[in-house]
Structure 1
Amino acid sequence: MKMMMKMLVLVLVLSGVLSVSADSQHEDLAITGCSDSDGEAMYALDGEEKWYADFIKQRGVEPQPDFIDHGSYPDPGAYQQAVANQQICRGNLKNSRKFNKDMPLEKDPPSSLVIYPRDDVELGEKNHLLCHVTGFYPAPVKVYWTKNGENVTEGTSINVPFPNKDGSFNQISRLEFIPQLGDMYSCTVKHLALKQPLTRIWDVEVKQPSIGPAVFCGLGLTVGLLGVAAGTFFLIKGNECS
């Protein structure tokens, strides 16, 4: 019943297109979503977000790095079409509220929150911290970053909510940073179903090469050489006495 309620709201508020090619086995997903104060338009290929509409900055965004082939999507009118679809979506949302006015809103808190660096940490080298939150419903979540206890907004970004197979959502927030030893970062998530925000902490650590085996081998070699030297000394002394 829980899953059916989620899917009912999802179908009415979000319109998605899913296609699978038998020849190349690729999966496309297009989502249009809206609320009274927010909207979403996103295109994904094989589970990777390729394009989304930023209705605040009024432009389309391709979140993939520059070195990745972005292909021919989207077409030049994709953002304008996304804006037009928002009007249709809000009309559908208004009708769905009338139809489901007595149905309580299903709310699920995030089931998982993790924070980790995108690349191996090297002091002084630019990197990204990722805060991945999943299992929540409805979307979206709000994510806040801190560095050494101070709020950070510069260099932060967040993708649009991405649907999971069970009807819940996941989102990833990113923080661009330069690792310095001793710095501590935190990612805090707020959601309608949470009584208290969730926070995860990450501090800068650099892996040091292990010296245990080298010391052990060096010590063994030293003891071996001492044994040979001692044996040679007693052998010479023995010959002198005979």
Structure 2
Amino acid sequence: MKMKELLLFLSCVLCVCADVLHEDIAINACSDSDGEFMYGLDGEEKGYADFNKQEFIYPQPPFIDRTTYANPYEQAVANQQICRSNLKIRRDAMKDIPLEHDAPSGVTIYTRDEVEFGVQNTLICHVTGFYPAPVNVSWTKNGQKVTGSSINTPYLNKDGSFRQTSRLDFTPQLGDVYSCAVQHLALAEPLAKIYEVDSSAHSDPGVGPSVFCGVGLTLGLVGVAVGTFFLIKGNECS
């Protein structure tokens, strides 16, 4: 009898499940010429190693109460050595099988803030759905190459592909035309997106704020629908 009770108890314990509150991720990736080491939480970067600057970067704005790590850059360098050692072992074992190449499935260009002529703003070029990482993003203004842009480290999507975001600070002037060109191993030629500063730019918000507002409205309507459903069910039960 006691054995049956014990088995029943263990069965109940094994069947217990809990909702996922947060998703934590750590990426350590390498190739012959490049490497990546980063920490993320709920789809956002918490920090990453910049092997060119030889330091660990925390990309959050200053008002965020961010998480910090002890000696993260030194740990990243050590993990890169392990990664390259493991890479060599797997290449020897698998005869260096060619990588699968997936071109970016989406490239979007938009402004960070509502556009006002003569007021500094930021252009954002968001690239997603590519494999392997990374992509290279270059910018032009009126057909001329511009420098000073930045790009974050590749971030892993749930389907195994990657996404990256490049940013360029600019001051909107009527008639200016900007473009971001994306280069990737799976692309025969760069994939470009264009942003034009036209006469209505001073009153039209960027794509980013519109997307966020749309998502917020959708979530609010879903919450109202779910609340109404449970209210009706509660009344039926009573």
CA contact (8 A) 2:182 2:192 kept: yes
Is 2:173 the partner of 1:180? Answer: yes
Consecutive unaligned residues of structure 1, counting only runs of 5 or more, are 1-21, 210-242
C-alpha separation in 1, matches of 2:129 and 2:135: 11
Residues 1:143 and 2:137 are matched in the alignment: yes
* Residue matched to 1:56: 52
Dislocated runs of 4+, deviation >3 Å? none
Indicate conservation of the 8 Å contact 2:115/2:203, yes or no: no
Matching residue of 1:160 = 153
The residue aligned with 1:220 is none
Residue 44 of structure 1 pairs with residue 37 of structure 2: no
Q: Is the radius of gyration larger for structure 1 or structure 2? A: 1
> Unaligned stretches of 5+ in structure 2?
1-17, 205-238
Query: Where does residue 198 of structure 1 map in the other structure?
Result: 191
C-alpha deviation, 1:29, in angstroms: 0.9
Alignment of 1:96-175 (within 5 A): 96-101=90-95, 103-154=97-148, 156-175=149-168
Work out the CA distance in 2 between the residues paired with 1:178 and 1:50: 29
> Alpha-carbon deviation of 1:165?
1.3
| Local SS of the residue matching 1:189 | strand
In structure 2, distance between residues paired with 1:192 and 1:34? 16
Partner-residue secondary structure (3-state), 2:38: strand
Report deviation, 1:27. 1.5
Letter in 2 for 1:166: D
Residue 127 and residue 207 in structure 1: after superposition, are their counterparts in 2 closer, same or farther (change >3 A)? Answer: closer
Q: 1:208 to 1:165 in 2, by over 3 A?
A: closer
Q: Look up the match of 2:72.
A: 78
Residue matched to 1:25? 21
Report how far residue 208 of structure 1 moved.
4.5
1:35 to 20, 23, 31: 31
Of the structure 1 ranges 31-40 and 60-69, higher mean CA displacement relative to structure 2 is found in: 60-69
Q: How far 1:147 sits from its partner (Å)?
A: 1.1
Percent identical residues: 63
Displacement of 1:103 in angstroms is 2.7
- Contact 2:116 2:203 survives alignment (8 Å): no
TM-score, scaled relative to structure 2:
0.73
The alpha-carbon distance between structure 1 residues 68 and 182, as it changes in their structure 2 partners (threshold 3 A), is farther
Q: Across the two proteins, how many residue pairs are aligned to each other?
A: 185
**Is 1:189 the counterpart of 2:182 in the alignment?**
yes
Deviation at 1:134, TM superposition (A): 0.9
CA deviation after TM superposition for structure 1 residue 64, in Å: 1.7
Matching residue's letter, 1:190: Q
**Correspondence list, 1:207-218, <5 A:** 207-208=202-203
Residue 231 of structure 2 corresponds to which residue in structure 1?
none
- Given the two structures, how large is their TM-score scaled by the length of structure 1? 0.72
- Note the C-alpha offset of 1:202: 0.3
